[in-house]
Chains A and B, each alone.
Chain A
Amino acid sequence: MGVARLKKAELYYHKSVHEEIAAALQESGACQIISTAEENSAPPSEIEALISQTDDKLSDIRYLSRTLTPHYVDPIPALDRMLGERPEVTMPELAELSSQTDLKKICEQVRGIEHETGDVRMKLSEARMNVSLLSSLGFFQYPLSVITEGTRTLTGLVGTLKAENVNGFRAVLGDFSQYSQETELVIAPYNEKDKAQEVYAALIYSRSIESEVRELCAKNGLSIIDVPSVFTGTVDEEKEKYSASITELEAKEQELSAKISEAADTYVPTVQKLSDYYVSLSGRYNEMARSYETDCTMLTKFWVPTSKADELKQKIEEISTDIELVMSNPAPDDEPPSLLNNGNTVRPFNILTELYSSPTYRGIDPTPLLAPFFWIFFGMCLGDAGYAIVVFCTILYVFRKYKKIPSGVKEFIRLFLFCSVSTFIYGVISGSFFGNFIDSFVPVLIPLKNSLMLVDPMTNPMQVLGISLLLGVIHLMFGLLIAAYDKLRHGEFINALGNDISWFLLIVGLCLFGVGLGGMLPPHFVQIGQGMAGLGAVIIFLYAGKGEPNFFKKIINGFLALYGSTSYLGDILSYSRLLALGFGSAVIGMVINLLGGLAADIPYVGWVIAIVVIVGGHIFSIAINILGSFVHPLRLQYVEFFGKFYSGGGEPFTPLTLSQEFVNVKA
């Protein structure tokens, strides 16, 4: 239970076996390497070479996976993959595969296809641009060589001008032509009303006045367009030529894309396996590079859980006899990483602690403390026996079908399996089965349902509100006691008394007082409550003034501290969400049944619609309510409960492991 004990290991070995040692440490999955080399020092020379080799391979693999993966259709559905249905391989098999695969050659082939595709695409876009330009030049009847090459005496240009400027341009050109040589202006058909429209125009003129014409165009709003010099025939001829080339290029592009899909199908499975292999190797060498070296030996330090130390020692000593492994307990000034080590029942809740922040090595592991509360709170929020059965059966089905679920995912699913039990219990005692399904559709079962009901949030919500707030008080007071225990453990008696025990006395005292006044407890509890609350308040008052020399400031600090009780009021009221969310799921269920019932009245097809509404509606309701039932109890743990005693701040234990992104890798 709690944070696992770790050993600090120092491993001295001869350089000749460093690869075997590295593999053994990584495959054990239980060693977190500690840096022994000085900052910025170069890694041991043997390892440096290996690192650069792996990096080289990795860069090829990344290139291939980046290029090919978008074209790859994974035969394994994503959900199956997440639940561990992936190829299984061993490290020796991967090494074998790596030696048989010529990554460089594959890269070359893929790069070839990629280049060719790029080339074709460029040509294609050029051809498309030419066709679109040619379409706008349809008004021009002469061969385009007049413009692109010109004849001995004539040449021409093409440009656009605004529709509103066309007549003006014509007039200017007319004036110009009177005392100069003839020019010919051809204007594309255009709509006179749309003044901002860009109109295409072609102008043919004698070579000798080229510069004057260009100047005139620039002054009068005709902007010249470059016509590619390859255009020589008439517009229609050129267009036909390029349309043909577009068809050809498109066929080529398709062929290339088929080629790359084929390459993806052939190579991606291999690339994925090799990716895991080289990511593992890269991780291994980079971590081992933090070792210390002499001429012939190396020293690697690492953390290992005490429970796995013996097994590891045995494995390492099998490698060579020239090895010295020293294990010691962490020194007081060491800050070891923390690994949560909880039994089967509490382990699914580890993730809740880890989502917040891992405890420090010497700190308290809050997981077993929060687990029962989270379990109850989740049950109250989802609070429906029918939903619980659906969740429970779905999870059992998943566990039966998938045998290789990765442990992290498996624990998370087990969390919901556990919580479905509390959901079922609360559903039964609050009489909720798919909302009010029983009342609406199966009246036979009403007596059974009613006989099992202990609380009824629908008709008597105040009762459930009271239970919610009471659970809140218990949760908060439990948190205060843990905080007090933690302080006492470190010998801080005064702080424990002033910060935690005093508030415990005050709040529990006030609750007893209130409940006693309400007549729910024998009258002498009123006096006990008064006494506890009074004592608590006095301690808080005195503790707040401690260390303040000025008498008036002492008093002010004391009152300010007592004013802090409002925050406890807020904390306790925050638990009213347990009622609200449980109520929410029950009423949403009720609404779905109601809609289903209304739909059933439609003649002939009514029952079909009713089934769709009820089944679909409840699935939606389960999804949305599970989200709420997870988030809100979690908030109660993080904000209200952890706020009293826990701040985390530990470094999680991250051992050197094999990468298993795409395949399940065994040693």
Chain B
Amino acid sequence: MLGLSLALFGAALAAALAGIGSAIGIGVAGGAAAGVMTEDPNKFGSCLILQALPGTQGIYGLLIAFFVLNKLGLLGGAGAVDLTWNQGLQILASCLPIAVVGWYSAIWQGKTSAASIQMISKKPEAMGKAIILPAMVETYAVLALLTSILMLMGVQVG
């Protein structure tokens, strides 16, 4: 059963690390948003959008975790597939891109979002640019997600 444990460890890392990153990122951005809204509560809408941007990494992590669980047959009562320790390790490796990049990119995206929120507090008309700057950071989370997905699809189990 070592294979199954390794694979589950990978799924846990993907959901947990990317989730932690998103939580920190959203927290940082939320602090800035709250500060801006004390001056102008009408900015709630745009602040919320900017605050939500670093949240996607957590979702990507969750997505990979589900992907793994599905691959292992742990969802929906079919029973777990048999895994060699080597296959388990392969799945664990496949989870690492989104786990690590999701974690770090969400934190930095949160910082960029916070800066963007500061920017729209002074220049509300620059909302378009304010959204793009954090999205530049997210690119690498998207690439990591893609890498994880492609790796997972390549791993043969069962």
| A positions within 8 Å CB-CB of B | 352, 354-356, 461-462, 465, 573-574, 576-577, 579-581, 583-584, 587-588, 590-591, 594, 597-598, 624, 627-628, 631-632, 634-635, 638-639
Contact = CB atoms under 8 A, between A and B. Distances in A.
A590 B142 CA distance: 19
Given A576-B142, A639-B132, 13 more contacts: A576-B146, A580-B146, A583-B146, A584-B59, A584-B60, A594-B66, A631-B131, A632-B142, A634-B128, A634-B131, A634-B132, A635-B132, A635-B135
A356 B133 CA distance: 12
Contacts of B62: 591
A597 B131 contact: no
Given A356-B129, A631-B53, A577 B139 contact: yes
Contacts of B145: 580, 584
Contact of B75 (A581, A594, A634): A594
Contact of A628 (B56, B70, B129, B150): B56
B142 A591 contact: no
Given A587-B63, A587-B67, A581 B76 contact: no
Contacts of A576: 142-143, 146
8 contacts: A573-B143, A574-B139, A581-B142, A587-B63, A591-B62, A624-B52, A624-B56, A634-B131
Contacts of B153: 461
> Which secondary structure characterizes the binding site on chain A?
helix
A577 B142 contact: yes
Contacts of B75: 594, 598
B16 interface: no
B63 A580 contact: no
B128 A356 contact: yes
A588 B63 contact: yes
Closest 3 A-B residue pairs measured CB to CB?
Answer: A355-B128, A580-B146, A577-B142
B142 to A, nearest CB: 5
Given A355-B128, A588-B59, A461 B150 contact: yes
A590 B67 CA distance: 10
Interface in B109-158: 127-129, 131-132, 135-136, 138-139, 142-143, 145-146, 149-150, 153
Contact of A461 (B66, B136, B149): B149
A633 B52 CA distance: 17
A631 B132 contact: yes
Contact of A597 (B56, B76, B129): B76
Contact of A583 (B56, B76, B127, B149): B149
Contacts of B146: 465, 576-577, 579-580, 583
Contact of B142 (A352, A580, A639): A580
A585 to B, nearest CB: 10
B81 interface: no
A281 B140 CA distance: 51
| Residue from B62, B139, B143 whose CB has the most chain A CB atoms within 10 Å | B139
Q: How large is the interface on B (under 10, 10 to 19, 20 to 34, 35 or more residues)?
A: 20 to 34
A580 B131 contact: no
Contacts of A462: 150
A32 B136 CA distance: 36
A638 B132 CA distance: 8
Contacts of B66: 587, 590-591, 594
Contacts of B136: 635, 639
**Interface hub of B52, B53, B55, B131 (most chain A Cβ within 10 A):** B131
Contact of B135 (A588, A591, A631): A631
Interface of B: 49, 52-53, 55-56, 59-60, 62-63, 66-67, 70, 75-76, 127-129, 131-132, 135-136, 138-139, 142-143, 145-146, 149-150, 153
A462 B146 CA distance: 11
A75 to B, nearest CB: 19
Contacts of B149: 461, 580, 583
Contact of B63 (A574, A591, A632): A591
Contacts of A639: 132, 136
Contacts of B127: 355
Nearest to B52: A627
Contacts of A461: 149-150, 153
B41 to A, nearest CB: 11
Contacts of A628: 56
Contact of A584 (B55, B63, B135, B139): B63
A355 B129 contact: yes
A47 B137 CA distance: 52
Contacts of A631: 53, 131-132, 135, 138
Q: Which of B55, B142, B143 has the most CB of A within 10 A?
A: B142
A588 B56 CA distance: 12
Nearest to A352: B128
A459 B104 CA distance: 30
Nearest to A459: B153
A624 B132 contact: no
A581 B142 CA distance: 8
Q: Which of B75, B132, B146, B153 has the most CB of A within 10 A?
A: B146
A385 B128 CA distance: 27
Contacts of B138: 631-632
Nearest to A632: B135
Nearest to B127: A355
Nearest to B153: A461
A518 to B, nearest CB: 19
A165 to B, nearest CB: 43
A624 B76 contact: no
Nearest to A584: B63
A598 B128 contact: no
A475 to B, nearest CB: 16
A461 B146 CA distance: 10
A584 B138 CA distance: 14
B60 to A, nearest CB: 7
Nearest to B56: A628
B99 to A, nearest CB: 16
Contacts of A624: 52, 55-56, 59
A124 to B, nearest CB: 26
A627 B49 contact: yes
Contacts of A580: 142-143, 145-146, 149
A590 B64 CA distance: 12
Task: Please indicate which of the listed interface residues A465, A573, A580 has the most CB atoms of chain B within 10 Å of its own CB.
Answer: A580
Nearest to B64: A587
Contacts of A574: 139
A577 B144 CA distance: 10
Nearest to A355: B128
Contacts of A597: 76
Contacts of B52: 624, 627
A635 B150 CA distance: 23
A372 to B, nearest CB: 20
Contacts of B67: 587
A352 B131 CA distance: 12
B76 A594 contact: yes
A658 to B, nearest CB: 20
A650 B109 CA distance: 30
Contacts of A573: 143
